[in-house]
Amino acid sequence: MARLLRWESVLVLLLVAVAVVGSVRTGGTFLSGGNLFYLGLDIAEIALIALPLTLVVVSGEIDLSVASVLGLSSALVGTLWNAGWALELILPVAVLAGALCGALNGLLVTRLGLPSLAVTIGTLALYRGLALVLLGDTAVADFPASFTQFGNTPIPGTRIPYPILLFALLAVGFAVLLHHSSFGRSTFAIGANPEAAWFSGIRVKRVKLILFVLTGAVAAVAGIVYTLRFSSARADNGNGLELAVVAAVLLGGVSIFGGKGTLGGVIAGVLLLGGLRNLLILDDVSTEVLTVVTGALLLAGVLIPRLLGSRYFPAGRKT
Q: Assign 3-class secondary structure to the chain.
A: CCHHHCHHHHHHHHHHHHHHHHHHHCCCCCCCHHHHHHHHHHHHHHHHHHHHHHHHHHCCCCCCCHHHHHHHHHHHHHHHHHCCCCHHHHHHHHHHHHHHHHHHHHHHHHCCCCCHHHHHHHHHHHHHHHHHHHHCCCCECCCCHHHHHHHHCECCCCCCEHHHHHHHHHHHHHHHHHHCCHHHHHHHHHHHCHHHHHHCCCCHHHHHHHHHHHHHHHHHHHHHHHHHHHCCECCCCCCCHHHHHHHHHHHCCCCCCCCCCCHHHHHHHHHHHHHHHHHHHHCCCCHHHHHHHHHHHHHHHHHHHHHHHHHCCCCCCCC
Is the pLDDT at 317 greater than 60? The verdict is: no
Determine which of 97-106, 244-253, 306-315 has the lowest per-residue pLDDT on average.
306-315
Residue 314 domain flag: no
Residue 184 domain flag: yes
* Domain coverage including residue 93: 43-238
Residue 49 domain flag: yes
> Each residue of 141-174: pLDDT tens digit?
999 988 888 888 899 988 899 999 999 999 999 9
Residue 311 confidence (pLDDT)? 60
Residue 123 domain flag: yes
pTM listed for this prediction: 0.92
Residue 6 domain flag: no
Residue 256 domain flag: no
Residue 97 domain flag: yes
Residue 92 domain flag: yes
The total domain count for the chain is 1
